[in-house]
């Protein structure tokens, strides 16, 4: 991937991680958990920016890519087990659904947030020509 594309991705991701909504006196960030990176990986795959694998999601390779490209982590800073562990756990919870907000009933508030995350990130990447 070209350095220009990586720099653009960093800017888009920083913007997404700053997106938030105020609700009932609480601040709800669009992206704040390691599990949220599943959505980011899927959007990048849909835009042809990260290789898809038919067998199973490449979480470890994606985590390595995030570190290599120095993608901003925002509120999801490394702790404990790491990104791969939390992405794998969430993947099991959603039973491997590619777009879980369409038909998964697990954690409705998270699915609502993931849908918004996907739509916003997809729009921003499209606007940047990626």
The predicted model gives 93-116 an average pLDDT of 88
Q: Which pLDDT does position 88 carry in this prediction?
A: 93
Express each pLDDT in 56-99 by its tens digit: 889 999 999 999 999 988 766 555 578 899 899 999 999 989 88
Express each pLDDT in 8-58 by its tens digit: 999 999 999 999 989 899 988 999 888 999 999 999 999 999 998 878 889
Q: Which pLDDT does position 80 carry in this prediction?
A: 57
Q: Which residues pair with 28 in a beta bridge?
A: 21
For the entire predicted model, the pTM comes to 0.90
Residues 86/35, Cβ–Cβ less than 8 Å: yes
Question: Structural domain boundaries of the chain?
Answer: 3-123
Q: Which pLDDT does position 60 carry in this prediction?
A: 92
Q: Where are the beta strands (DSSP E) in 1-130?
A: 20-23, 26-29
Give dist(CA 18, CA 109) in Å, integer: 19
């Amino acid at each position: 991937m070209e350095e220009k594309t990586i720099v653009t991705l960093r800017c888009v991701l920083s913007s997404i991680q700053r997106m938030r909504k105020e609700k009932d006196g609480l601040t709800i960030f669009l992206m704040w958990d390691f599990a949220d990176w599943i959505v980011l990986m899927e959007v990048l795959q849909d835009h042809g920016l990260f290789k898809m694998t038919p067998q199973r999601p490449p979480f470890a390779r994606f985590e390595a890519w995030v570190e290599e490209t120095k993608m901003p982590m925002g509120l999801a800073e490394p702790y404990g087990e790491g990104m791969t562990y939390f992405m794998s756990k969430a993947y099991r919870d959603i039973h491997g659904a590619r777009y879980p907000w369409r038909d998964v009933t697990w954690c409705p508030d998270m699915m609502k947030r993931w849908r918004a995350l996907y739509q916003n990130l997809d729009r921003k990447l499209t606007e940047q020509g990626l």
